[in-house]
Amino acid sequence: MRNEAHRLWTAVSAAEPETRALARFLADWPAAAPPAPQPRPAPCEPAAPLPVLRWLPRMALDADRFGGVFVETLCRAAGSLDWRQTYSLADAGESFLRNYGWAELVRPAAATGFVQISCGVLVLGPNTFYPAHRHEAEEIYLPLAGTAEWQQGDAGWRRRSPGTLIHHSSEEPHAMRTGEHPLLAMYLWRSVDLRQRARLDRRSAG
């Protein structure tokens, strides 16, 4: 999926040359694939698929998806990806965790002391509110399937269609909420330290 993701980001960057942030991110795309991550968990304890993955087949058929070949390839490969959740049950609640997950497609092999890039995909189920959160890493999102609403800082909510680029500065609070459709979005993170995790903004997490 790494090469497919790079091809899609490159195509978007070529179509929108005024989006300088994306070109800056792609300039730091790793030249070679890092070593494959160690399998987790132990072979005797196969990972249960995250509940949010139940929405992927629906998104593969979404007529309005962006990067259709990439979405179809991702949905076929989903079982081989390492799906994660940043937040605990106490952090985010059961309903959110049943409708939320992400997987890295590109991750740095180790800290280098230099700016690096990670790339992955986020899935949110329908009627899901991802409360305001923030992280030091600068971020670009590219929604691929499902039109959701996004909020940056204190600005109002904006509908963002598949194919729209969304740029979050370092430590900029941002939130998302879906309606009747699930959301699949690809992201890029750019930072010296990509081992960090996003932090919920408690004022908005309610």
Query: Which of residues 52 and 60 has its CB atom nearest to Fe ion in the complex?
Result: 52
Take residue 127 and report the two structure tokens written for it: 């009627």
Piece in contact with Fe ion (CB under 5 A), picked from 74-82, 87-95, 121-129, 136-144: 136-144
Least distance in angstroms from the C-beta of 174 to Fe ion? 6
The reply to whether 104 sits near Fe ion by the rule CB under 5 A is no
In terms of CB distance, is 104 or 139 closer to Fe ion?
Answer: 139
Q: How many residues bind Fe ion (CB under 5 A)?
A: 1
Q: Which stretch binds Fe ion (CB under 5 A): 64-72, 81-89, 108-116, 138-146?
A: 138-146
Task: Using the minimum distance from each CB to Fe ion, give the nearer residue, 65 or 174.
Answer: 174
Q: How far is the CB of 118 from Fe ion (least distance, A)?
A: 12
Q: Assess whether the previous peptide bond of 108 is cis (omega < 30° from 0).
A: no
93-to-57, 68, 86, 128, 180 alpha-carbon distances in Å: 25, 32, 12, 12, 20
Closest residue to Fe ion, based on beta-carbon distance = 139
CB of 85 to Fe ion, least distance (A): 14
Ramachandran category for residue 4: left, alpha or beta (phi over 0 → left; psi -120 to 50 → alpha): alpha
Q: What is the DSSP letter of 81?
A: S
In angstroms, give the least distance from the CB of 133 to Fe ion: 6
How many alpha carbons lie under 13 Å from residue 148 in its C-beta half-sphere?
Answer: 28
Q: Which is nearer to Fe ion, 58 or 167 (CB)?
A: 167
**End-to-end Cα, the chain, rounded Å:** 36
Signed CA dihedral, 116, 168, 100, 13: sign only = negative
Q: In the complex with Fe ion, which residue's Cβ is closer, 60 or 99? A: 99
Contacting residue, 75, 139, 144, 160, with Fe ion by CB under 5 A: 139
- Could you tell me if 116 and 191 are in contact, meaning their C-beta atoms sit under 8 angstroms apart? yes
Residues lying near Fe ion in the complex (CB under 5 A)? 139
